[in-house]
Structure 1
C-alpha cells in the first residue's frame, strides 16, 4: 500500500514523492481500518540508519557556517524553539483546554516518541501528546515540500544522491556504509541518544566525510525504500485511532502548525540576511518538524542539507535536554509558592 502511494506521487513528479505518497496511502488505509495496514514503526530503525548515513554524506567543511553567521544561527534556533514552545502551550492550554502537563509536552517542537514518553512519565495524556505531534509532523511534511516545489519548481528526483545506482558503489564503499551504520547506531544506543538509529550513523557519517576519509553514500534504491518505510511509519501513527479523537487532534494541528510556521517565518526573515543564506534554507533550519523528515525535505529540495541537518539536531537537543528540566523547575516553583 505504501509503495503504491509512493509510486503514484512519483508519477506526478511531486517533491519527496516516495515518503509523501507512502505516508498519505498508509494514513488513508489506517483511517479506513483496512486490514492491509500494520504498524510499520518497528521497521523504521534500520532504514532511518540508512538515511542517517545518506544525510551525513552531504557534510563538507564549507557547508557549515562560521563565526558571526554560526552565532546568529544558534541564536535564531534557540529563539524560534522557545517561541514555538511558548505559543504552542498557550494555544493548547487556553484554547484547546488541555491539562497543563499534556499541553506542555504536546507543544514542545521535538520528536513524537521522546515527548510522548516524557509527558506520560510526568502525568500527561501520552496518547493525546503523540497524536498532536503526529498531526504536526504529518502536516508539515505534507505542506512544506509541496509549497517549496511550487515556488522553486524543483524536481527532487534529480538530486545527486538520488542518481547513484548500486553498481556505482565500490566494494570498499559498501564496507564503509555497513560500518557507519553498525558502529554509529551501536554507540548512539550506548549513549542513550534520542533517535539513536538515525542520529548515530548521521554523526559518524558526517565526521568521516568532513575528514575526507570516504565519499561513500547509499544507492538510490535504498534511499527510496527508506523513504517509503519512513512515510508509512508516519501514516501508521493513526492506526486504531477513532475518528472523533483524530479530528480533535487534527483540528488543533491545523491551527497549531500555522502558528508555529508563523514564528519560524518571522525569525527566518530576520536571520537570513545576517547568516548569509537564502530565506528558504533558513526556514528549513528552524521548521518544527521531525529531524528525519525535515532533513529529507532539505535533501529532496536541493537545500543546504548539512546546514539544515545540523540545525535540526541542535533544536532537538535543546528540547530533549531542556523540556523536562524546565517542566520540573516550573513544578518546583509552583509547589513552593
Structure 2
C-alpha cells in the first residue's frame, strides 16, 4: 500500500500521532488469541488545536456509499484547513469486504454492530470492535456511516442516540442537523441503541450513526449526502471554518417493528422504502417455489418503512448467533411523533 505505515497496537496509547499539519495513512494491526485484525486508518492532524473527530464506515461490508464518502474526506480535507484531529476509518470489516459478506463477519458469523467492546481475547469480531474502540476512545465526536446492504432497500435517515448529559444530547442532535435526509430519529431506549454507541457515550464521545444508500449501490447522490453531512458536522463543532448547512428535516420518534418471516420460502414485498403504511395494510407475502401462499404480513400500526429486504430468498433456519439476517423482511417505525 502506498504511503501507509504499518503499526502494531494494543491500545490507544500505542498510537504515534502524526505531527501537526500532517496527514498520514496507517494499517493498524492487533493480534490476540490466534486472531489478527488489520484496520486502515487515516489521521489528519490540523494546523491548530481543536476537537478530535472520528469518522468510520464499512462496519457492514456491502454498505459502500459511506466508504466512498470516507475516501473523499481523506482526499479533500487538508491539515492546513483543519482545527483539531480527524481519525478516519474507511473500511472497518476488511475481511468481510474482500469476501463480499453481507452484514455478518465471515470469520465468526457475528453481527459486529451489536458487539460490546472490551473483550479482545474473544472471537475475531470481538477483537475487531475492541480495537476500533481503542483507536477512537479519546475522540470528542464520532459519526458512523451506514447504508442499505446488498439486498436491503433503505430510506435515508439519521438515528441519534440520546445518551449521557444534556450537553451531549444537544451535541448529538447538532451532528445530525446538517444531513439532507427527510427524517432524524431520536432514540432514548437503550434496547434500540447498539452497544458500541453506548460504550462510546460512556467514554464521553458524542456519537450518531447515519443510514444513507441502498442495495449496495454507491450512487453519487448517496455518497454526496454522506460527505456533505460530515462536512456540515465538522463545521458545526469548529473543526472546519464556514457555516454549516441546515436542511429541512423532520424529527420522528416511535416504536420499532422488525417484521421477520415465520416460514422459509419466497418473499414478495408489496411496499417501498420511505412509504407510510396504515395499520392492517398488506406489506408482502411468503410463497412456496410454485407461488402458493404460505403467509401474508400486515402493518401492526401506522408506520414508516425504514427498509425492507429485496432478496426473495428466506431461510428461517439460518440464524447465525441468533441474528435474523436470513429471515428479516421489513423494518418499520411507528409514527407516534413527527415534528
Fold match, TM over 0.5? no
Structure with greater strand percent: 2
TM score, norm. by length of structure 2: 0.25
TM score, norm. by length of structure 1: 0.25
Structure with greater helix percent: 1
- Higher relative contact order by CA 8 Å / sep ≥ 6: 1 or 2? 1
